[in-house]
Each structure stands twice: as structure tokens, then as C-alpha cells.
């Protein structure tokens, strides 16, 4: 089987949420899996000297509209959260804890947790940066909230997320969603048509 598509996302990225709705099926159509990577957009923006599109007033207005329209275009339920953007390091640390704790099933469970977290934030507006809320989100997912809270406060898992951010930056990631098909980088949920053709034709 060909290498999985790498998919870098931030829980607080609306376009990552939209991409999370189609990436698995797109990959499966071409006999590929998906390797999910939770990162902090703030870290990649800083490394690339960039800022969020919503940090610029004129671009923000368009972007907020385009987030919603892009979700509708893909038939994905979407509601702008009351608080946006939010810091997502705690959720991302839980992701990497799930990812690493079992080499056989960890990555798939972490991906399920990612989809769960993206859903509850982008559909139900639950603020993942609030510890009490994130504990409830973890509980709903079937995890022990005390264990999860211990994870996000643990220097070891803080270091694991930092390593993931550093690895993303070293791979050329400067935004999210960001994808790599073999060595070909694709940035943005709007690159789906190019990715589909790249996979079908082995490049173009």
C-alpha cells in the first residue's frame, strides 16, 4: 500500500475542519490512508513570520464568510463558535498521547479524537481551551478526564506537541490544513481537486 497522506491540522482552524470531512474518503478512493498531525497554527505562523487571516480586518470579514460558505459547499454542518480562535494546545496534547500510546491502533484513535474535537468545536461551539469543557469532551469520547488533564499538564506531552510543531515546520508546513502526498505539499482545503488528480494520475 502506498504511503499515507500526511494531514496537519489545528483544532481551531475552520478550513482544517472542512478538510477533515473529506480527507479520509479522498485518500481511500486512491488506496491511501491518512496520517493526522495535530499542530498549533500559532507556532507555524510564527516560524514563517505569518499571521492568521482573521488578524487582518479586511481579510477577516471575507474569511469569516468564506469559512461558512466552504463548509456549505462541502455539505458540512458549521457554526462560527462564540469564541474564535482559541488556543488548542491541551486538545493537541491529548491527541499525541492517544497517538503514541499504542503503535498499532493509536494513530487511528487519535484521528477519531481529532474528528470528535473538531466537530464539537465547529458544530457545537464547545470551547476546547476551557479545561472543564475539554474534560467533558474527553469523557464523551470515552476517556478518563483526570488522565487527560494530567496529560495536558505533563511536560513530557508538552514536549511531544512541541516536537510535532517543529517537525511540521521542518517539513515546510506554514498553515493548516496542510497535506503531503509523498513529497508533494498541498496547502488549504481548496486544494482537494488538485490532490484528487495528483493521486489519480501520480502527479500532473
Q: Which is nearer to a copy of itself, 127 or 190 (CB)?
A: 190
Farthest-apart Cα atoms in the chain, separation: 49
φ/ψ of 150, rounded to 5, equals -60, -40
Stretch that binds a copy of itself, among 21-29, 43-51, 87-95, 114-122 (CB under 8 A): 43-51
Stretch that binds a copy of itself, among 3-11, 94-102, 105-113, 186-194 (CB under 8 A): 186-194
Residue 132 near residue 117, CB atoms below 8 Å = no
The three-state secondary structure class of 180 is: strand
Q: Which is nearer to a copy of itself, 30 or 59 (CB)?
A: 59
What would the DSSP string read from start to end of 53-69? GGGSHHHHHHHHHHHHH
Residue 128 near residue 90, CB atoms below 8 Å = yes
Among positions 30, 33, 47, 162, the unique one binding a copy of itself when judged by CB under 8 A: 47
User: Cα 16 vs. chain centroid, distance in angstroms?
Assistant: 5
| Interface pattern 121-160 for a copy of itself (x via CB under 8 A) | ----------------------------------------
φ/ψ of 37, rounded to 5, equals -130, 110
- Binding of residue 172 to a copy of itself (CB under 8 A): yes
- Binding of residue 25 to a copy of itself (CB under 8 A): no
| Interface pattern 59-98 for a copy of itself (x via CB under 8 A) | x-xx--xx--xx-xx-------------------------
Q: CB under 8 Å to 200, separation ≥6 — which residues? A: 30
Q: Which is nearer to a copy of itself, 119 or 194 (CB)?
A: 194
Smallest gap from residue 48 Cβ to a copy of itself (A): 4
The DSSP output letter for 130 is S
Residues across the chain: 204
Q: What is the side-by-side order of every strand in the sheet holding 34-38?
A: 34-38, 5-9, 178-181, 184-187
- Binding of residue 58 to a copy of itself (CB under 8 A): yes
Smallest gap from residue 134 Cβ to a copy of itself (A): 31
Find cell 482545503 and name the residue. 189
* Residues within the interface to a copy of itself (CB under 8 A): 47-50, 56-59, 61-62, 65-66, 69-70, 72-73, 172, 174-175, 185, 187-188, 190-191, 193-194, 197, 204
Amino acid at each position: 500500500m502506498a504511503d499515507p497522506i500526511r494531514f496537519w491540522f489545528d483544532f481551531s482552524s475552520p478550513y482544517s475542519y472542512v478538510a477533515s470531512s473529506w480527507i479520509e474518503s479522498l485518500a481511500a478512493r486512491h488506496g491511501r490512508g491518512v496520517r493526522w498531525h495535530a499542530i498549533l497554527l500559532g507556532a507555524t505562523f510564527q516560524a514563517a513570520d505569518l499571521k492568521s487571516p482573521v488578524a487582518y480586518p479586511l481579510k477577516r470579514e471575507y474569511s469569516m464568510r468564506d469559512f461558512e460558505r466552504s463548509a456549505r459547499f462541502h455539505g458540512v454542518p458549521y457554526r462560527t463558535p462564540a469564541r474564535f480562535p482559541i488556543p488548542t494546545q491541551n486538545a493537541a496534547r491529548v491527541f499525541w498521547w492517544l497517538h503514541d500510546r499504542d503503535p498499532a491502533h493509536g494513530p487511528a484513535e487519535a484521528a477519531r479524537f481529532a474528528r470528535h474535537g473538531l466537530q464539537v468545536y465547529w458544530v457545537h461551539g464547545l470551547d476546547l481551551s476551557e479545561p472543564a469543557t475539554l474534560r467533558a469532551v474527553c469523557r464523551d469520547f470515552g476517556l478518563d478526564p483526570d488522565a487527560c488533564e494530567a496529560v495536558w499538564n505533563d511536560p513530557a506531552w508538552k514536549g511531544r506537541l512541541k516536537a510535532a510543531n517543529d517537525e511540521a515546520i521542518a517539513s515546510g508546513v506554514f498553515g493548516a490544513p496542510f497535506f503531503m502526498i509523498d513529497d508533494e505539499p498541498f496547502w488549504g482545503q481548496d486544494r482537494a481537486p488538485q490532490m484528487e488528480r495528483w493521486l489519480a494520475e501520480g502527479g500532473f
